[in-house]
Amino acid sequence: MIKIINKAYLIIIFLSVWGLYQRYEEVETEKESFNGQISAVQAQLNKSKRDKKKIEDFLKNIEIKKAEVEEVALQVEKLQAKLPQELSDSETVGKVRNIADRLKIRDIRVNPAEEADKGFYFAKNYEIEATGTYLQFLLLLEGLSDSERILNVKNIKIERNATQSKGRYEIIKITAIIESYRYNPSYRENRGIEEIEKRFEEEAKKKAAPARKKRGKS
């Protein structure tokens, strides 16, 4: 009888120890699972911190770029304001003719073309046709460059004069395009800041969408 009791006691002890061991295993498993969850949360937290830092740096860069863009735009507008507000065909044609007359350039013709909108300025071409010597045309171009208005020589074509009279200097025929400019009062330089901010908002929404989906599944 005593032997049976002793064996029963040992069985009870064994079962108790076994139960404690199983509980220990369960606790260890739960602990490992919990530690894994903590690691995942910590990794997500670190990623969020990095993303936050990137966003802060990006926003800081946006502010710097906005200031730089604004400065460039102001410089463009200052340059724009230096152009005349009006273009006078009679004034431009008269200036070319006066210089040509002083230089005794023959058969001078100046034909204005249509005005073209170039954004912050309007441009207008004038076609010049005349007959004279190389020196006369060099002096003509020099005289135009001294003008208070900006006159740009876009194109120039030189041909020998088929009916050249005998003389000391070769007579040539010249066809040139000069371009004049005026201020466009309705134009304001586009900063592009709104587009940058809109693009950033769209990217932020795209990044936030997967995070909301994950939270919804969990």
CATH number at residue 160: 3.30.70.60
Question: Which residues, other chains included, contact 78 with Cβ-Cβ below 8 Å and sequence gap of 6+?
Answer: none
Of 183, 198, 213, the domain-final residue: 183
- Let me know whether 174 and 93 are in one domain: yes
- If residue 131 lies in a helix (H) or strand (E), which one and from where to where? strand 121-132
Domain boundary residue, one of 49, 82, 115: 82
- Nearby residues of 197 by Cβ (< 8 Å), 6 or more positions away: 62
- pLDDT value of position 117: 86
Task: State the pTM of this model.
Answer: 0.50
44 and 121 in a common domain: no
The domain containing residue 41 runs over which residues?
1-82
Q: Final residue of a domain: which of 62, 82, 102?
A: 82
Block mean pLDDT (10 aa), the chain, length 218: 54 63 69 69 72 71 74 72 77 88 88 85 90 89 79 84 66 88 74 66 66 53
Q: Is residue 193 part of a domain?
A: no
